[in-house]
Amino acid sequence: MTDSNTPIFSDQDRSGIRVAANKPLVYLDSCVWIDVAERFEDLSLQCRALVQTGKALFPVSFSTVTEVIEQPTAVKRSRVAALMDDLSKGLCFRTSKTIHEMEANLALPVILAASEIAFKREEILTWIVEFAGRMTVRFPPSWNRANADKFTRLLADRPELRSVKWLVDHSPPGQLRLENAERMERYVQEMTAVRARSLLHYQHLNKDARWKQLLLEERTSVVKRLISPAMSKNLLNVVGQEKLLDTMAAISRQVGEGGQHRLDRIMKAMPSLDLYCHIMAERGCNHSRKARAQDFFDVEHAVVGGVYADFFVTSDGNLFDLLTQRCRISADRGCRVVRGVKGLKEALRQVAN
């Protein structure tokens, strides 16, 4: 009999990802993808040459795949998707939700160990078909393991699973647009609430003091919502229900209750989560700029590409300014943030040399 859910991709299927993760990764936001595909043929040729010679890869993400599916015409969708296939070689970043869960699982090791904790970049990369989440296959109980493995291998080898163009040609854009509208609306509501708190409680403070207070609030919210539950779950798996409270008490006695220094150390090991907190705090301080639905995708681009790629190329001036002037997370992670087509040209020169 088979297990209820079987991952599509085995460790062997991911061997190509381990090789790819060692190459320079250049992440383009959706506007840059469109510019390169439609307006700058010379740049697309340069990018293709770097990929063909093994000098770079251009992985996509949930945001880039989703936004190309939502392009208004079939011709435009097909053109951009074909370029994505050529430059990504089927490689995709995992969703920000998955990355944040992976980062949250580092909290317990960070608290217990003196050294910095991290995971390998290959672990947050996958094949394009998993752009929106991990994929598994559920077999009926009548299937034996040998047949299930054979079927899964045949499925995992299909080239369609590594193609944005295949997704573009076969995805129902109406349903996707509805789901994305809900995601964007939730983001606008959350961002509006952050700005309202800033106006209500911190308007008397200067912008720097407001920013620090909002950053603390965002980090505290992330700890309560994601990090603490992950720590409890990981401890529960190790020591069991009966010893959970005693173990937590023992850890508290050993390392203390913590404080700002502890919070800083935890968040340093979770750069994508922390970058999200920084962006929310920054935009919460900006009382003159209303939250926009499109901001959802811009933030999604940043918290993935602006942390785990080697180059993050964005056309968003606000994000570029934040990540290069007011926040050090990208720089500390070794990610160079550049702006638009001009920035991409600079990045390509660096990669080529």
With residue 217 as reference, give the H or E element that holds it: helix 207-222
User: What local confidence, expressed as pLDDT, does residue 31 receive?
Assistant: 96
Cβ–Cβ < 8 Å for 308, 275:
no
Residue 284 included in any domain: yes
User: What local confidence, expressed as pLDDT, does residue 1 receive?
Assistant: 45
The domain tally of the chain equals 1
Lowest mean per-residue pLDDT among 168-177, 185-194, 303-312: 168-177
User: What local confidence, expressed as pLDDT, does residue 248 receive?
Assistant: 58
Residue 207 included in any domain: yes
Residue 338 pLDDT exceeds 80: yes
For residue 217, give both structure tokens.
């609030």
Residue 157 included in any domain: yes
Residue 143 included in any domain: yes
For residue 101, give both structure tokens.
């869960």
User: What local confidence, expressed as pLDDT, does residue 265 receive?
Assistant: 84
For residue 64, give both structure tokens.
């880039």
Going by the DSSP 8-state scheme, the letter that residue 335 receives in this structure is P
Residue 57 pLDDT exceeds 50: yes
Residue 56 pLDDT exceeds 90: yes
Lowest mean per-residue pLDDT among 38-47, 49-58, 202-211, 317-326: 202-211
Q: What is the pLDDT of residues 76-108, one digit of tens each?
A: 999 999 999 999 999 999 999 999 999 999 988
d(CA 193, CA 197): 6
Residue 66 included in any domain: yes
Residue 1 included in any domain: no
Provide the domain limits for residue 169. Answer: 6-352
Mean pLDDT, rounded, of the chain: 88
Taking residues 135-162, report their average pLDDT.
Answer: 89
CB atoms within 10 A of CB 133: 12
